[in-house]
């Protein structure tokens, strides 16, 4: 096997905004993207036209560097990159010289045939977080992973690889933070000291370039902000997608779909979304409807709309080989399908039988796919669930000789799902109805947040999967995704009633709240669990709807800064060792101020770690001083959920769907704390792009305990809030007498656009 290690520098050249360093083995390019983001590409065959699927920024125009006989030092306001020339190694420091990350001196970057690997030094206290949807611990130290998007049906809680590729991690050591995004879509590998006797960490891929972005901002939050600056942020999601979603493989007929929707309304359990899984189609042919069981799609959807339900349908990439089927005929006529290198169309079996696969790596195929959605959009489908796009086929792997665009399958497999989601999103976005598309995808690559929500695929109905699902949601949040679901209840198998109730209570705090189950399992809808359990499930779904103003404002943060809605405690409490303890590593902050401790369905008390600061139990208002673990009561009726002191949480009354206006009262809850705090409240019409033109309603709500003042800033934006009144709810303020100087009732105010000040 031809093995080479990156050797001595032969020449150094600056050309415009890039530094080019040549060795015998390869050429290195160095660009500065921003003061805290530097890109390195080391390649044997650098192609300047090779664009990234993930990155949407360009390098900065200039940077400063010095060169001596031994090294090149490139300095920004945040970072220092010292490049030692012989052998060529890349070592990163903070601007004031603290070590962030260094190449392993001996092995650095190296090749074995096409495979390229970068060995880096491992520091004694170093921890790693990230990689998105991966099994294992929050701290990935001691683990290794592979990225190779896979239809991981029936996967256990240790399985790897799964459906998605997010080759981005954050390293933590010595109180410092750094990130590395290895932008390479080949099969890739990450080893955080698992196989190297704790000496090195390493990452690499089966082919392509050693092409990575180094992030040097000094906090996990800022690194996420930089990573999502580089790879993009989500748009505001349709508000309805944040309501409760009911799915099943499959509701078998229009009558059954209606029956389920009607039952939600009859039982007065709030819900916004219902799904059609593969059986709505005619023989699983994408963009068709089964004429017998779904004879009148528009009629069905009109009835659903009248009940304030939104319909999402599944679309898989595989196009059935069947002359006379529109998408097949068009695809063949225009050569839209992936082929072997000799031009023969690739063919294999998946749900519809023998299928061809759209070549989503070509612009014309993207356009065609986008316009094919009329069969769904014309009758009124509003959400598009992209499944099986690893791509999945019976037999799993595609032959390596299959081509996608200019590439062979192994070069870009990990981006196929993202390209499908992108084609779906862009196609729907082109419909001139000024509506936000809702796209959900199973396979993904870095940057998918620009187009789609994701869910974590086929989990199973047992407790360990519920906990793993939460860790994956938290980890996907580090890698730019915020709108994330897991199959609540577990896809495979039947949950016990206790697990269903518990998982649903966690679903309240899952960014996308979707109940889904596999064919052949028992029915899963909230009323299938007996009256007592139904009442608990209903109460929890109602809580989700009460929290929507807070949740929507949380997504505004994701849209603006990339902060995910579900946040591992490692984001806000990075230096606290306890948050990485496997006893507590499933805990997370939901938005700025709600801390949730997932608990198995078989335990009714839980050891919960409360980070530093003051906390209140949501259900009891009980007050705790943090920086310690407590034993919390955890009956199935009451998941341990804690509110940070100083929290400002806007809520609303219970509505049955986000299409209902409600009682017009925004209930602003404030929990007393000794520190001042603030919250950015955000609202818009929840469905259009008018917010991009300033039609939003945004104001900062502040709590100032020293001056005993709660204030609302002037409203920014031209949108009229749907709430006419603001009702203030104070928690933990017992020791304060309430001023009624204003003469108004203390708790309720007109929702004026100007500054509102309330003394307490
Ligand atoms: C895949 C999906 C699952 C879906 C099923 C049938 O297994 O992951 O969610 O229900 O296919 O379409």
Ligand 1 centre from 15 Cα, in Å? Answer: 50
Q: Is residue 125 in a domain?
A: yes
Give the contacts of 734 (CB within 8 A, at least 6 positions apart). none
Report which ligand 1 atom has the smallest distance to the Cα of 153: 7
Report how far residue 513's alpha carbon sits from residue 547's, in angstroms, rounded to the nearest whole number.
13
Tokens representing 676 are 């001042």
pLDDT at 739 over 90: no
Residue 726: CB atoms within 10 Å: 22
Q: How many helices (H) and strands (E) does the chain have?
A: 12, 51
Q: Which of 277, 284, 286, 486 to mutate to test the pocket of ligand 1 (most atoms within 8 A of CB)?
A: 277
Q: Is residue 449 in a domain?
A: yes
Q: Which of 491, 514, 517 to mutate to test the pocket of ligand 1 (most atoms within 8 A of CB)?
A: 491
387 in active site: yes
User: Average pLDDT for residues 221-229, to the nearest whole number?
Assistant: 99
3-state secondary structure of 373: coil
Q: Is residue 290 in a domain?
A: yes
Q: Is residue 87 in a domain?
A: yes
CATH number at residue 8: 2.60.40.1760
Tokens representing 184 are 């390479």
Tokens representing 219 are 């906090």
pLDDT at 402 over 90: yes
Report how far residue 451's alpha carbon sits from residue 440's, in angstroms, rounded to the nearest whole number.
9
* Same domain? 148 vs 28: yes
What burial letters (b/e) apply to 625-637, b meaning 16+ CB within 10 Å? ebeeebebebebe
Report which ligand 1 atom has the smallest distance to the Cα of 442: 8
* Same domain? 391 vs 423: yes
Question: Of 201, 231, 261, which residue sits at a domain end?
Answer: 231
Give backbone dihedrals phi and psi of 29, rounded to 5 degrees, phi first.
-115, 140
Q: Is residue 545 in a domain?
A: no
458 in active site: yes
Report which ligand 1 atom has the smallest distance to the Cα of 491: 9
Tokens representing 638 are 């009451």
Q: Which of 133, 152, 249, 276 to mutate to test the pocket of ligand 1 (most atoms within 8 A of CB)?
A: 249
User: Which residue(s) pair with 699 in the sheet?
Assistant: 681
* Same domain? 212 vs 290: no
Active-site residue, from 225, 387, 463, 525: 387
Active-site residue, from 209, 272, 382, 390: 390
Q: Peptide bond before 391: cis, by omega within 30 degrees of 0?
A: yes
Q: Is residue 522 in a domain?
A: no
CATH number at residue 260: 3.20.20.80
User: Which of 484, 396, 489, 473 lies closest to 441, judged by CA?
Assistant: 484
pLDDT tens-digit map of 696-734: 999 999 999 999 999 999 999 999 999 999 999 999 986
Q: Compute the half-sphere exposure of residue 210: CA atoms within 13 Å on the CB side of its CA.
A: 30
User: Which of 380, 391, 382, 381 lies closest to 319, judged by CA?
Assistant: 391
Residue 659: CB atoms within 10 Å: 17
* Same domain? 254 vs 198: no
Residue 207, pLDDT score: 98
556, 236 contact by CB (below 8 A): yes
Nearest residue by C-alpha to atom 4 in ligand 1: 249
* Same domain? 193 vs 254: no
Active-site residue, from 458, 542, 592, 684: 458
Report how far residue 599's alpha carbon sits from residue 75's, in angstroms, rounded to the nearest whole number.
47
Report how far residue 173's alpha carbon sits from residue 406's, in angstroms, rounded to the nearest whole number.
41
Report which ligand 1 atom has the smallest distance to the Cα of 518: 10
Residue 740, pLDDT score: 44
The rounded percent of the chain whose pLDDT value lies above 90 is: 96
CATH number at residue 718: 2.60.40.1180
Q: Is residue 627 in a domain?
A: no
Calculate ∠ Cα 516-519-524, nearest 5°.
Answer: 40
CA distances from 627 to 609, 624, 677, 751 (A): 7, 10, 20, 38
330, 294 contact by CB (below 8 A): no
Q: What's the total number of domains in the chain?
A: 3
Residue 738, pLDDT score: 52
User: Average pLDDT for residues 310-319, to the nearest whole number?
Assistant: 98
Residues with CB under 6 A from ligand 1: 153, 249, 277-278, 314, 387, 442, 457-458, 516
Report which ligand 1 atom has the smallest distance to the Cα of 250: 10
User: Average pLDDT for residues 687-698, to the nearest whole number?
Assistant: 98
Q: Which of 245, 313, 388, 492 to mutate to test the pocket of ligand 1 (most atoms within 8 A of CB)?
A: 388
Secondary structure of 177-233 as H, E, C letters: EEEEEECCCCCEEEECCCCCCCCEEEEEECCCCEEEEEECCCCHHHHHHHHHHHHCC
User: Average pLDDT for residues 635-659, to the nearest whole number?
Assistant: 98
Residue 760, pLDDT score: 82
* Same domain? 399 vs 286: yes
Ligand 1 centre from 9 Cα, in Å? Answer: 52
589, 567 contact by CB (below 8 A): yes
Q: Which of 252, 314, 490 to mutate to test the pocket of ligand 1 (most atoms within 8 A of CB)?
A: 314
pLDDT band per the 50, 70, 90 thresholds, residue 197: confident
Instruction: Compute the radius of gyration of the chain from its Cα atoms.
Output: 26
540 in active site: no
How buried is 332 (Cβ within 10 angstroms: 0-12 exposed, 13-18 middle, 19+ buried)? middle
Nearest residue by C-alpha to atom 10 in ligand 1: 249
pLDDT band per the 50, 70, 90 thresholds, residue 743: very low
Residue 744, pLDDT score: 42
Residue 556, pLDDT score: 98
pLDDT at 198 over 90: no
Residue 647, pLDDT score: 98
3-state secondary structure of 444: strand
Pairing of strands 273-276, 244-246: parallel
Residue 737, pLDDT score: 52
pLDDT tens-digit map of 331-375: 999 999 999 999 999 999 999 999 999 999 999 999 999 999 999
User: Average pLDDT for residues 115-124, to the nearest whole number?
Assistant: 98
* Same domain? 250 vs 108: no
Report how far residue 37's alpha carbon sits from residue 684's, in angstroms, rounded to the nearest whole number.
33
CA distances from 563 to 480, 558, 571 (A): 8, 5, 9
Ligand 1 centre from 316 Cα, in Å? Answer: 10
Nearest residue by C-alpha to atom 3 in ligand 1: 458
Q: Is residue 292 in a domain?
A: yes
User: Which of 484, 536, 543 lies closest to 514, judged by CA?
Assistant: 484
* Same domain? 358 vs 274: yes
Report which ligand 1 atom has the smallest distance to the Cα of 519: 10
User: Which of 209, 183, 181, 11 lies closest to 101, judged by CA?
Assistant: 181
Question: Of 206, 231, 256, which residue sits at a domain end?
Answer: 231
pLDDT band per the 50, 70, 90 thresholds, residue 745: very low
Residue 747, pLDDT score: 77
* Same domain? 215 vs 258: no
Residues in the chain, overall count: 760
Ligand 1 centre from 578 Cα, in Å? Answer: 37
461, 455 contact by CB (below 8 A): no
Report how far residue 154's alpha carbon sits from residue 15's, in angstroms, rounded to the nearest whole number.
52
Q: Compute the half-sphere exposure of residue 371: CA atoms within 13 Å on the CB side of its CA.
A: 9
pLDDT band per the 50, 70, 90 thresholds, residue 748: confident
Kindly state the DSSP code that residue 645 receives in the 8-state scheme: T
* Same domain? 74 vs 167: yes
* Same domain? 85 vs 122: yes
**Alpha-carbon dihedral 642, 644, 645, 651, rounded to 10 degrees:** -80
Report how far residue 381's alpha carbon sits from residue 672's, in angstroms, rounded to the nearest whole number.
45
For residue 682, give its domain range: 663-759
* Same domain? 364 vs 451: yes
Calculate ∠ Cα 755-756-760, nearest 5°.
Answer: 145
3-state secondary structure of 284: coil
Mean pLDDT rounded to a whole number for the chain: 96
Secondary structure of 385-397 as H, E, C letters: EECCCCCCCCCCC
pLDDT at 735 over 70: no
Tokens representing 496 are 């016990």
User: Which of 395, 385, 375, 459 lies closest to 420, judged by CA?
Assistant: 385
User: Average pLDDT for residues 569-577, to the nearest whole number?
Assistant: 98
User: Which residue(s) pair with 688 in the sheet?
Assistant: 435
Residue 692, pLDDT score: 98
pTM for the full model?
A: 0.98
pLDDT at 666 over 60: yes
Ligand 1 centre from 153 Cα, in Å? Answer: 9
Ligand 1 centre from 250 Cα, in Å? Answer: 9
Ligand 1 centre from 387 Cα, in Å? Answer: 7
pLDDT tens-digit map of 588-646: 999 999 999 999 999 999 999 999 999 999 999 999 999 999 999 999 999 999 999 99
The rounded percent of the chain whose pLDDT value lies above 70 is: 98
Question: Of 455, 480, 504, which residue sits at a domain end?
Answer: 455
Report how far residue 714's alpha carbon sits from residue 756's, in angstroms, rounded to the nearest whole number.
8
Ligand 1 centre from 516 Cα, in Å? Answer: 9
Tokens representing 236 are 């505001």
Helix axes 363-371, 409-429, angle to 10 degrees: 40
pLDDT tens-digit map of 41-74: 999 999 998 999 999 999 999 999 999 999 999 9
Report which ligand 1 atom has the smallest distance to the Cα of 392: 1
Helix/strand/coil percent split, the chain, to 5: 20, 30, 45
Taking phi over 0 as left and psi of -120 to 50 as alpha, with beta for the rest, 743 belongs to left
Kindly state the DSSP code that residue 318 receives in the 8-state scheme: P
- Higher per-residue confidence, 571 vs 743: 571
Ligand 1 centre from 286 Cα, in Å? Answer: 14
């Amino acid at each position: 096997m031809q093995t080479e290690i990156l050797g001595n520098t032969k020449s150094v050249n600056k050309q415009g905004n890039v530094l080019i360093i040549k060795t015998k083995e390869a050429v290195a390019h160095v660009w500065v993207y921003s003061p805290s983001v530097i890109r390195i590409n080391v390649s044997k065959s650098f192609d300047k036209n090779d664009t990234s699927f993930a990155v949407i920024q360009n390098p900065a125009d200039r940077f400063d560097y010095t060169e001596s006989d031994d090294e090149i030092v490139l300095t920004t306001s945040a970072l220092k990159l010292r490049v030692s020339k012989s052998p060529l190694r890349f070592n990163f420091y903070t601007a004031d010289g603290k070590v962030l990350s260094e190449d392993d001196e001996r092995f650095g970057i190296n090749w074995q045939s096409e495979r390229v690997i970068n060995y880096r030094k491992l520091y004694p206290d170093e921890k790693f977080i990230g990689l998105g949807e991966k099994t294992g611990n929050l701290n990935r130290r001691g683990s290794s992973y592979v990225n190779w998007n896979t239809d991981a049906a029936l996967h256990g809680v240790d399985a790897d690889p799964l459906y998605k590729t997010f080759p981005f991690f954050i390293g933590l050591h010595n109180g410092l933070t750094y990130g590395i995004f290895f932008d390479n879509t080949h099969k890739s590998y990450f080893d955080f000291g698992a196989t190297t006797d704790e000496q090195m960490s390493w990452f690499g891929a089966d082919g392509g370039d050693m092409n990575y972005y180094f992030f040097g901002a000094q906090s996990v939050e800022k690194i996420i902000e930089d990573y999502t600056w580089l790879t993009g942020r989500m748009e505001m999601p349709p508000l309805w997608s944040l309501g409760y979603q009911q799915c099943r493989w499959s509701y078998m007929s229009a009558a059954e779909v209606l029956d389920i929707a009607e039952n939600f309304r009859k039982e007065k359990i709030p819900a916004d979304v219902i799904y059609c899984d593969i059986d709505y189609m005619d023989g699983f042919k994408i963009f068709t409807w089964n004429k017998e069981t779904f004879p009148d799609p528009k009629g069905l959807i009109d009835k659903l709309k009248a009940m304030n339900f939104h319909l999402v349908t599944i679309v898989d990439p595989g196009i059935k080989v069947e002359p006379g089927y529109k998408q097949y005929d068009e695809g063949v006529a225009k050569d839209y399908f992936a082929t072997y290198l000799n031009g023969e169309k690739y063919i294999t079996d998946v749900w519809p039988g023998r299928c061809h696969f759209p070549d989503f790596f070509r612009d014309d195929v993207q356009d065609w796919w986008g316009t094919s959605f009329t069969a769904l959009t014309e009758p009124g489908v509003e959400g598009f669930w992209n499944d099986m796009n690893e791509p999945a086929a019976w037999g799993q792997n595609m032959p390596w000789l299959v081509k996608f665009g200019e590439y062979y399958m192994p070069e870009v497999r990990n981006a196929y799902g993202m390209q499908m989601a992108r084609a779906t999103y862009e196609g729907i976005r082109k419909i001139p109805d000024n509506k936000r598309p809702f796209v959900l995808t199973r396979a993904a690559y870095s940057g998918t947040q620009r187009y789609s929500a994701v869910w974590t695929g086929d989990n199973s109905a047992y407790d360990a999967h519920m906990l793993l699902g939460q860790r994956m949601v938290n980890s996907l949040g580090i890698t730019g995704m915020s709108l994330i679901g897991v199959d609540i209840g577990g896809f495979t198998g039947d949950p016990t009633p206790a697990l269903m109730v518990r998982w649903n209570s966690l679903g309240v705090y899952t960014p996308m709240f979707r109940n889904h189950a596999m064919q052949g399992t028992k029915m899963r809808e909230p009323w299938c669990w007996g009256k007592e359990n139904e009442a608990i499930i209903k109460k929890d779904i109602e809580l989700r709807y009460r929290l929507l103003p807070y949740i929507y404002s949380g997504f505004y943060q994701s849209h603006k800064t990339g902060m995910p809605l579900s946040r591992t405690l490692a984001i806000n409490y990075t230096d606290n060792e306890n948050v990485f303890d496997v006893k507590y590593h499933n805990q997370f902050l939901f938005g700025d101020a709600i801390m949730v401790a997932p608990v198995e369905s078989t335990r009714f008390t839980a050891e919960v770690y409360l980070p530093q600061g003051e906390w209140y139990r949501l259900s009891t208002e009980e007050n705790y001083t943090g920086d310690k673990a407590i034993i919390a009561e955890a009956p199935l009726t009451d998941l341990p959920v804690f509110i940070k002191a100083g929290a400002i949480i806007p809520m609303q009354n219970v509505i049955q769907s986000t299409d209902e206006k409600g009682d017009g009262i925004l209930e602003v809850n404030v929990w007393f704390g000794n520190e001042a705090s603030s919250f950015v409240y955000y609202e818009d019409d929840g469905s259009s792009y008018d917010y991009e033109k300033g039609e939003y309603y945004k104001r900062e709500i502040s709590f100032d305990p020293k001056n005993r003042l709660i204030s609302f800033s002037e409203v920014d934006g031209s949108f009229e809030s749907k709430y006419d009144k603001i009702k203030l709810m104070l928690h933990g303020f017992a020791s304060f007498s309430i001023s009624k100087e204003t003469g108004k009732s203390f708790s309720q105010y007109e929702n004026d656009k100007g500054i509102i000040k309330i003394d307490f």
